[in-house]
Amino acid sequence: MTMRFLSIRQALARAALRAFSLAAALGAGVLLAGCGGMPMTQAEATATARDVPAGAVALGPFRTVAGGFLAAPGAVFGMPTRPGSGAYVKLLAPAAVALRGNDLLVADSGSGRVWRVDIALNTFSPIAGVTATLGSAVALGPDLSAWVLDGLSRQVQRFSRDARLLQSYRTDNAATSTAAFTLADGGGTLLLADDSQRQWLELRPAGARATPVRPGGTEPLDVRGVDALASAGDSVYVLDRNAAVVHVVRRDGQVTGKLGAGELKQPVAIAADRRGRVFVVDAQDRAIKLLRPGRPAQVFDAAQLRVQMIGGIAIDEQFLVVTDRLTGQVVIHSLREGPAP
């Protein structure tokens, strides 16, 4: 019976993704934002289908999530017995966000709740036992487990897809101040940003002790802060708010480069993908800046992102996710990259 539910859900997910992607590519008619939000006009959809300039990335319309229906109790892997049959849930001030396939994880600082959203069925499932604040961080593992940095206890907890607590990660050092985290090694290693010690801690399953890694270059003060992390391949991207740069660091702590020097003003959040594209929220410019080695930053302002107050960001393959803390929406953009310059 479970396999039958999974097959139905996967078929629905594939159909939804194909429909929205095709509409975005063709620009035919009106492309609805989905899950609430304003519809995209034909002109907007057609504009995104034009050829992307060499070396640039274009944003295309995909969908907007402002709320959905509460999944019924006892649902199999988040799928209610009747999709859309539960009470309507509205996002208030979404902050941190993560996307993997059809699963969206949202830390709503307005309600203090962490939600797992099925964007194909438009259903919301709560994750109990954690409190969402502006300092929360979330991630989705390759097995779709939810990783949440609790906004109050400052510990990272991992939940199964049916919201069971699987593991809790906390450091033994009382002086450690966990600011953020990222997953590395295909989800097998947890990297905890420790802003008080200008380092990160590597934790692996099976109760292994945390291994501290302090990024450093030729000078002791090259790295002024480890405020947020993103991982891609063998590189860790360290957001340094004091220096207003992103350090490119090997896993052994050796700094190999910098991104955003002279281009970032007030960086507050970071996301990266396996292509080495690094997206940074710049609060002063109210924009997201795409950083790549040897190229000037590409800037997406709030109007292009269809938001008013940028909160959290996430990247999943060809999709960029942005939260709007003012209007209570999560906007998902498709990404199209032009040919190499």
Distances (CA, A) of 135 to 49, 94, 180: 37, 12, 8
Backbone angles phi, psi at 324, to 5 degrees: -115, 105
pLDDT at 49 exceeding the cut of 50: no
Largest CA distance in the chain: 61
Average pLDDT on 25-52 reads 42
- Which percentage of the chain shows pLDDT scores above 90? 56
The answer to whether the pTM exceeds 0.75 is: yes
Question: Tokens at residue 169, please?
Answer: 């990660």
In tens, the pLDDT along 54-73 reads: 778 999 989 999 999 998 76
Q: How far apart are CA 225 and CA 215, in angstroms?
A: 9
Q: How far apart are CA 203 and CA 45, in angstroms?
A: 44
In tens, the pLDDT along 150-196 reads: 867 778 999 998 889 999 887 666 556 788 999 999 888 999 998 88
pLDDT of res. 55: 75
Q: How far apart are CA 305 and CA 34, in angstroms?
A: 16
